[in-house]
Structure 1
Amino acid sequence: MLSSLSRNWWLLALRGIAAIIFGVLALVWPSLTVLSLVVLFGALAFVEGVFSITTAIAVHKKNEYWWAILLAGVAGIIIGLITFFWPDVTALALLYLIASWALITGGFEIAAAIKLRKLINNEWVMILGGLLSILVGVLLVVFPGAGALSVIWLIGSFAIAFGILQIVLAFKVKSLAPQTHD
């Protein structure tokens, strides 16, 4: 596992760079970030709904569960329309989705760091990234009314800090490449 990680250190660095770019863009254009997330989600749900309905119609004679695909499609279209007509509700739902993602990701980052602590030095970088993710998730859940702008600033700042930690971790992992043996 460690040799695979050290061979692919650049993926961690790339992940960090992408997070930093996203964070900077979120800080520079916060209103565009919220609107973009909502519109993209709405479009995805709507298009997925149309494709699901089309699939259900195409397989209704061959698949006894075609109705479940049809219902999923109808739900997708409804969610897509709700997103377009009530973007504020969707933004709040996305806030909770992002909070959930941050909490789950943070937990897994900490678990991975604990598992790797006997194999690598300075696992605290990975633990700190996990704790940062959990902190962001908790803050988003506890203070959802703080407003979209402050949430975007929080997410942008988190993304930059997390990106920096990922780049540090990438170079630490890269330095282990010659010594690793699986």
Structure 2
Amino acid sequence: MMNRPVLSALPPGLSSLSAHWGWLLLRGIVAIVFGVLAFLWPDLTLATLVIVWGAYAVVDGAFALVYGIGGAGNRRWMYVLVGLTGILAGLAALFWPGTAVIVLVMIIGYWAFIVGVFEIIYAIQYRRAQAHPWLIGLSGCLSVVIGLLIVMCVYPVGVLSVVWLIGSYAIVYGILMTLAAIQLRRFQRRLTA
């Protein structure tokens, strides 16, 4: 006999979140594309990478913001905060790409750290959901580690190393988001069955 989630034991908002699994999938795909672009153009300057990342952060932040505003449950504020953080960091990268590349790389690091902390909080809150929290928690841990690495090590490493670090992070993060979306889709199918 198949284990089915007990609807009354679900954390509030998870059923509405599972209905929006496509947003999570799109975030994952965009992150993977960004990471692959960083590797396809190894001679890409850090300033250009920051511009490409800025566009990604704005799009990713917009997805999180739309879900936070339109979602259900009492945890919407986390998505709104993650969305606003991504949009502001992305806009900073787009409007000031050449003025202080190191500062913008630091913004990427802080953004990854903040997103990671909120993903860990999310994973802890939804840990009994039997859906996808461990993937979100894992992506949160990855984001925190990468964010700290970028913030603490941006000065001694070369430009190419930073590009590869950010590209690798984006690919792994995108894969984890895609897997989480697939888990949410399966969870939604079980809820509607």
Q: Provide the TM-score with structure 1 as the length reference.
A: 0.68
2:144 to 126, 134, 153: 134
**Superposition CA RMSD, Å:** 2.2
1:14 to 13, 18, 26: 26
Tell me the residue number matched to 1:100: 110
Within a 5 Å distance, the mapping from 1:1-182 to structure 2 comes to 1-32=13-44, 34-37=46-49, 87=98, 90-121=100-131, 123-145=133-155, 146-180=157-191
Q: Secondary structure at the match of 1:118?
A: coil
Separation in structure 2 between the aligned mates of residue 38 and residue 172 of structure 1, nearest angstrom: 31
Separation in structure 1 between the aligned mates of residue 129 and residue 177 of structure 2, nearest angstrom: 18
> Cα–Cα, structure 1 residues 3 and 105, in superposed 2: closer, same or farther, change >3 Å?
same
> Cα–Cα, structure 1 residues 39 and 136, in superposed 2: closer, same or farther, change >3 Å?
closer
Is contact 2:42–2:160 with CA below 8 Å preserved after alignment?
yes
Separation in structure 2 between the aligned mates of residue 107 and residue 159 of structure 1, nearest angstrom: 17
Identity of aligned residues (%): 43
Question: Which amino acid in 2 is paired with 1:177?
Answer: Q
Is contact 1:2–1:180 with CA below 8 Å preserved after alignment?
no
Is contact 1:99–1:140 with CA below 8 Å preserved after alignment?
yes
Separation in structure 2 between the aligned mates of residue 33 and residue 8 of structure 1, nearest angstrom: 36
Separation in structure 2 between the aligned mates of residue 170 and residue 110 of structure 1, nearest angstrom: 16
Q: Which has the higher contact order (CA 8 A, sep 6+)?
A: 1
Separation in structure 2 between the aligned mates of residue 157 and residue 151 of structure 1, nearest angstrom: 10
Give the aligned length.
Answer: 138
Separation in structure 2 between the aligned mates of residue 128 and residue 142 of structure 1, nearest angstrom: 21
> Cα–Cα, structure 1 residues 101 and 39, in superposed 2: closer, same or farther, change >3 Å?
closer
Separation in structure 1 between the aligned mates of residue 39 and residue 51 of structure 2, nearest angstrom: 19
Structure 2: unaligned runs, 5 residues or longer: 1-12, 55-94
When Rg is computed on C-alpha atoms for both structures, the one with the higher figure is 1
Q: Secondary structure at the match of 2:36?
A: helix
Shift of 1:144: 1.1
Question: Which amino acid in 2 is paired with 1:15?
Answer: R
Is contact 1:26–1:33 with CA below 8 Å preserved after alignment?
no
> Cα–Cα, structure 1 residues 9 and 39, in superposed 2: closer, same or farther, change >3 Å?
closer
Separation in structure 2 between the aligned mates of residue 163 and residue 171 of structure 1, nearest angstrom: 12
- Structure with the higher fraction of residues in helix conformation: 1
Structure 1: unaligned runs, 5 residues or longer: 42-79
> Cα–Cα, structure 1 residues 38 and 114, in superposed 2: closer, same or farther, change >3 Å?
closer
Question: Which amino acid in 2 is paired with 1:139?
Answer: L
Which string of whole-angstrom CA distances, capped at 9 and with x for unpartnered residues, describes residues 17-63 of structure 1? Answer: 1100000001111443623255687xxxxxxxxxxxxxxxxxxxxxx
> Cα–Cα, structure 1 residues 33 and 106, in superposed 2: closer, same or farther, change >3 Å?
farther
Shift of 1:178: 3.6
